[in-house]
Amino acid sequence: MSRRLAPQPGEWIDRNRPVTFRFEGRPYSGFAGDTITSALWAAGVRVLGRSFKYHRPRGLYGLDGSDSNAMFETRDVVNIRGDRAPIEEGMDLRAVNTFGGVERDRLRIMNRFGRFTPVGFYYKAFHRPRSLFPFFENQIRRVAGLGTVNSGKALRHTPKDYAFCDVLVIGAGPAGLAAALAAADAGARVLLVDESPRLGGSLTWHGNLDDSRDRLADALRRVEAHQRIQTRTATCVAGLYADGWAALIDRLRLTKLRARAVIVATGVFEQPAVFPHNDLPGVMFAGAAQRLIHHYAVLPAERPVIDTRPEGDSPAAALLKREGINLLAGRFIARARPAGGLAGIRGVELCRVDERGLPRIEQRAEQLACDAVVMSVGWTPNDTLLRMVGTRMEYSAEREQFLPVELPGGVFAAGKVNGLVGLEDRWADGLHAGQAAASALGFGAAPGGSRPAPAGPAINHPYPVSDPDEGKNFVDLDEDLQVKDFRNAIQEGFNSPELLKRYSTVGMGPSQGKHANLMALRVLAKERGEPLAGKQITTARPFSTPVALGHLAGRIFTPYRHTPAHAFHTERGARMMFAGTWLRPEYYEVVGKTREACIQEEALHVRGAVGLIDVGTLGKMELGGPDAVRFLERIYTGRFDNLKVGASRYGVACDESGVVIDDGVVARLGPDRFYVSTTTSGADAIYREWQRWALCWGLKVILNNATAHWGAMNLAGPRARQVLQPLVDISLAAADFPYMGVRECRLDGVPARVLRVGFVGELGYEIHVPAGHALGVWNRLMEAGRAADVRPFGVEAQRLLRLEKGHIIVSQDTDGLTQPFEAGLGWAVKMDKPFFIGQRSLKIHQRRPLKRTLVGFQTDEARPRTMPRENHLIIEGKEMIGRVTSIAYSPTLKRTIGLAYLPPSMTAPDTRFTIRADGGELVPAQVCRIPFYDPAGERQRMTTPEEDAR
C-alpha cells in the first residue's frame, strides 16, 4: 500500500524518474531523490531492521542518519545508512544484524531473555573459568556487531583530496546560510557544507514553510551567485580538529580541509520520549515525520498521536494536526501497546502529568488507538564538532539544555546550536557569526550589536520518562539500553558520566549517543538526586558520523632511499634489505646456492682476497669552526683534542643517562675540519641533536649533514692495497698511510676522502666520493680489481666478519639501557675529561657493580642442530640470566660464535651456559675471548710484502 502523498511544494523527489530496487528479496520502487528509508516507508514497509542486542523490530526513527535503526547492506557494502543513502536502480538490500532476514530473525528470541542479560552481563558471566572464555568470545562475536563484510568484493579506490578556505560553514540551515553570506560579503572565501542533498536545513521542513519559502529561495539565489561561496551538499564534516582542520566525507572521497575559521551551524538533534515500547516501528521523531512529508511526500502513519510538551504549540504539532493527528496536552504516554510480533504499535495508554510536565504513571488517563507516536519533547544542540575542538558546554537549567559557553579561537557557533528557536533570531545569529569570523581574519568590520540570546519558554522537556516496572523503555536504541540498565549500573558504582558510559556502553553505537547521551545524563542526575547543571556529557571524539573504513584507508607511503651504487647491486642480483630507510644489499644471490652459502663465500673472499661493500648509507657529518674540537669532546666519550690532522679515531656517543646511542669514526681533515661517520639509522637524529647541543653550548661550530652528498664504499681484504693503489694519487704504503689514517686525494680524477679502517678485520679502505661519482668509482674499482678478483659483499657478510672481530653494532649488541662499561667499550670512555654527554651518569654507574657484561661465546657443537638466534635467552634453571645479541657460523673459524650479555660473574673464558633456542631446545655454549679472529689485529694493520721484508 503506497503512502505517497499528493505532490508537496518543494519536495525532493522526481516523480518522473522511478527507481526500482530490492529489499530482503522483494522488489520495491521509489523515485529519484528518495532515500532507502523514505522509499521503503512509502511502500508500507515498517520493519527496517533489528536491534543490536534483543533483535527487536525497528523502523523509521530520525530520518537524518543519526540513528542506527535503518542500516542496510548490499553484497559489497555494509552498514549503509538508509536515512541518507539515495536509492539506486537495481540495489539489492538486506537489513544488517539479522539471522535469517529482518522479519523472521532467529535471534528475535533474545528479546525474551532481556531480564537475564542486564548491563555488565558479559563482563560478569563469561570470565570464569578462564579457559572457556575463547569459546564464549567466539559465540559473542558471532552475534554482536553489525553487518557482514564481503572480503571477496571488488577493490574500490577511495580518493582523498585537499581543500582550503577562509571560513568553513557547517550546516546550511538559516543560520548557516546567513553566516556564509555575511562572511563572503565581508570578503572571505567561504565553503558551505551540508549533509543533506540540498541546502536550506530546517527551512525545507520545519515551521511555517509558507512564510519562510521566499527567504529560502532568496538566500539560495544569493549563495549560488556569490563568487566567494562554494557549496558542498551530501557532505558530512565527520571530524573537526585543531587549527581549522576538518575531515569532509562524501559518498566518494575524504577531503582534508584547512579553514582559517569555522562556523558551526549544525542545529539540533531531537530527543526521545522514554516509555515502554518506544523503540518499535511507528515511534518516530516529529522532525522525521515532517521531513517525510515535505521532502519525500510520504504519509508518516495512518493514525499517529503526537507526544509533546504541555504547551503543545510546536510548529510540528500544528503541521501534523493538519494531517488529522491527535495532540496530547496535559498527558504523557505511560506505555505503548505493541502490535503482533512487535512489528509496530496499536495504541497508547496515557497518564497525567504534574505541573512540571513530568508523567505520573499511577494517574491513568485514557487509551488511544494509533499506529504511530510522533515524539516532540525536546532537542539537544548538535554540538559534537564543537566539543571535539574543545568548546565548553554547560547545562542551562533555565533552558533545560546544554549551551556553548566558551569557544576555542577561530571557532564560532550560530543558530539552534546556540539554543535559539525563532527564525529571525537564528538568521541574525548567523549574520553575526559570519561577520565575526570574517573580521577575525581581517575581512570587514566586527559585527555591531550583540548576539541574540535564547528567549521565550524552554522547549525541552526536563524528564520525558515513563518508567513502569513492566516493559522495555529504551534510552539508547543502538545498544538496547533501558532506564533500569542505567539504574543498575549507577547502583553498582558506575555513577559518573564517563564510568556510566564505559560500563553500560551508552553512546558507543553508530549514533554515538546523539539521542541517548543527554537522557543518560538525566537518568544519572535523577538517580543521584543531583541537578544536571555542572554535569558534562562524555568527551566527543571523531567521528561525528560513522565513516566507512575505506575512506580512511590510504596507500601505504613508505619512502626509502637508494645509495648511488644501487643500479650495480640490482644488476648483480643483490637481495636488498632495509637498513633504516635505506635499501642495502643483504647478499648477492648466486644461482644454485643457498643464502647462507652466498654469505659465507662473500665473507671468506674478503678474508682471502678482497671485497667491496657499499657503505653509502653511513651518516656523514662535516664539522668546522673554531669550536669543532671542543664540540666533539663534549659529544663523544673519547678524546679528540689530541687527534692529529690526517688521523681518525673510533668514537662512542652516549645520551644523558649514559646509554650508548651511537658510534662512528671521527676523522680530522684539518685543524678545524672534521669528517665524522655515524650509524646508518642514527644519522638524522644525531644531526638534529648535535644542532641542539651546539645551540645550548653556544659553540662556534658549523654542522653539515652530508650523508646524501657522499657515496661511500669499503674495499677490504689482503689485496685491497693492490687494487686501490693504481687509482689514487697518494702512496698507500703503510708508512705513508697508516691504520686509522685519513687522506684527501684524487681517485681516478675524482676528489675522494679515504679512511683506513678495520671494521671487518682486514686491510681496508673506506672510500668516500661525491655521490654523483660514486657509481662510477664503484665500477672503476670492480674493473681495476678484476685481476685481484674483487667481489662485492653485502651487509650479512659484513656482520659476520665484524662478529669474528668482536666489534659491536650499536642497537644490535646494545639496547636502550646499555652503558659503555657493560658493552666492553670502557676503553673508549675518558672519564677524566672535563665533560661529555652522559659522563655524570656514568660516574654514578662506575660506583656500582655491573649488572651484565657483553661477552663472546661459542657453542659446543660447531653447527648446533637448532641454531640459536639473536635475542634468544640464556637460561639457568628457570631463570633468564642473559641474552644472545649476535650469532653466526664462522666459515673461517669453522665454529658458531656470538656475543651475549651474561652476569658479570660468568664472564671468565670457558664459563659454560645454556641458550634456549627455538622450540625450547637447549644449546650448550661457553664464554670465549674476543676478538675470535686475529686477536692481535695484525691483519687490519697489514703492511705490504715489501714492507714486511724491510
Partner 1 sequence: MKLLRCPINGLRPIQEFYYGGEYRPMPDPDASTDAQWADYVFNRDGAPGVRLEWWYHLASGVWFLAEHDTARDVFLRTFLFEELGQG
Nearer to partner 1, 117 or 846 (CB): 846
Q: Tell me whether residue 244 or residue 764 sits nearer to partner 1 (CB atom).
A: 244
CB of 691 to partner 1, least distance (A): 6
Question: What is the chain's alpha carbon radius of gyration, rounded to the nearest angstrom?
Answer: 38
Rounded-to-10 torsion of CA 600, 604, 605, 609: 170
Nearest to 331, CA basis, from 387, 377, 394, 294: 377
Tell me how far CA of residue 714 lies from CA of 610, 614, 683, 768, in angstroms: 10, 6, 19, 9
CB of 662 to partner 1, least distance (A): 17
Helices (H), 165-271: 174-186, 209-225
Output the DSSP codes for 598-650.
Answer: HHHHHHHHHHHS-EEEE-TTSEEEEEESTTHHHHHHHHBSS--TTPPTTBEEE
Nearer CB in complex with partner 1: 591/695: 695
Yes or no: say if 354 and 360 are a contact pair by the CB < 8 Å rule.
yes
Which cell goes with 549?
573504513
Cβ distance to partner 1 smaller for residue 159 or 409 = 409
In whole angstroms, the minimum distance from the beta carbon of 657 to partner 1 comes to 5
Cβ of residue 240: shortest distance to partner 1, in angstroms? 11
| Nearer residue to partner 1 within complex by CB, 471 or 542 | 542
Grid cell listed for 704: 653539515
Distance CA 328, CA 349 (A): 12
CB of 407 to partner 1, least distance (A): 12
Minimum CB distance to partner 1 smaller for 145 or for 390 = 390
Q: How far is the CB of 734 from partner 1 (least distance, A)?
A: 40
As to burial, measured by CB atoms within 10 angstroms (0-12 exposed, 13-18 middle, 19+ buried), residue 271 is buried
**Which residues here bind partner 1, judged by CB under 8 A?**
241-243, 245, 390, 408-409, 656-657, 687-688, 691-692, 695-696, 705, 835, 839-841, 844
DSSP E strand boundaries for 706-817: 710-716, 742-747, 750-757, 764-770, 791-792
- The dihedrals phi and psi of 287, each to the nearest 5 degrees, come to -60, -40
Q: Which is nearer to partner 1, 265 or 659 (CB)?
A: 659
Residue 714 pairs in a beta bridge with 613, 766
CA distance 413 to 195: 17
Q: Which of residues 695 and 936 has its CB atom nearest to partner 1 in the complex?
A: 695
Strand intervals (E) in 370-443: 372-376, 379-381, 392-396, 401-406, 411-413
Q: For partner 1, give the closer residue by CB, 467 or 822.
A: 822
CA angle centred on 408, ends 403 and 410, rounded to 5°: 115
| Residue 126 or 693 having the CB closest to partner 1 | 693
As measured in angstroms, the least distance from the Cβ of 410 to partner 1 is: 11
Nearest distance in Å: CB 243, partner 1: 4
Output 279 or 633, the one with its CB closest to partner 1: 633
Task: Give 657 or 866: the residue with its C-beta nearer to partner 1.
Answer: 657
User: 21 or 690: whose CB is closer to partner 1?
Assistant: 690
CB 379 within 8 A of CB 416: yes
Q: Check if the beta carbon of residue 532 is closer than 8 Å to that of residue 525.
A: yes
CB of 659 to partner 1, least distance (A): 10
Residue 455 CB, shortest distance to partner 1, in Å, is 32
Strands (E), 656-790: 660-670, 673-678, 702-705, 710-716, 742-747, 750-757, 764-770
Residue 30's DSSP bridge partners are: 19
Residue number, 595 or 688, with CB nearest to partner 1: 688
* Minimum distance from residue 339 beta carbon to partner 1 (Å): 51
Shortest approach of partner 1 to residue 642 CB, angstroms? 23
Taking the least distance from each CB to partner 1, the nearer of 60 and 701 is 701
**Shortest reach from residue 557's CB to partner 1, in Å:** 12
> Do the beta carbons of residue 97 and residue 545 sit within 8 Å?
no
Q: Burial of 3 by CB count in 10 Å (0-12 exposed, 13-18 middle, 19+ buried)?
A: middle
| Contact by Cβ (8 Å): 93, 24 | yes
Minimum CB distance to partner 1, residue 538 (Å): 19
**According to the 3-state scheme, what is the secondary structure of 444-479?**
CCCCCCCCCCCCCCCCCCCCCECCCCCCCCEEECCC
Q: Based on CB atoms, which residue is closest to partner 1, 49 or 658?
A: 658
Are 769 and 795 a contacting pair, CB within 8 Å? no
DSSP H or E segment with residue 300? none
Mention every residue, 6+ apart, whose C-beta is less than 8 A from residue 592. none
In the complex, least distance from residue 688 CB atom to partner 1, rounded to whole angstroms? 6
Q: Shortest distance, CB of residue 835 to partner 1, whole angstroms?
A: 7
| Residues facing residue 284 across a β-bridge | 374
CA distances from 332 to 355, 377, 474, 516 (A): 12, 10, 16, 20
Strand (E) or helix (H) holding 504: helix 497-504
Strands, E assignment, 241-309: 245-249, 254-264, 268-270, 283-285, 304-308
Q: Which is nearer to partner 1, 388 or 665 (CB)?
A: 388
Q: Minimal distance in Å, beta carbon 411 to partner 1?
A: 12
Q: Least distance (Å) from partner 1 to the CB of residue 787?
A: 46
Distance separating alpha carbons of residues 228 and 244, to the nearest angstrom: 18
Closer residue to partner 1 in complex, CB, 244/434: 244
Helix, strand, or coil (residue 941) = coil
Alpha-carbon 92 to chain mean position: 33
Buried (b) or exposed (e) across 701-727, using 16+ Cβ within 10 A?
Answer: bebebbbeebbbbbbbbbbbbbbbbeb
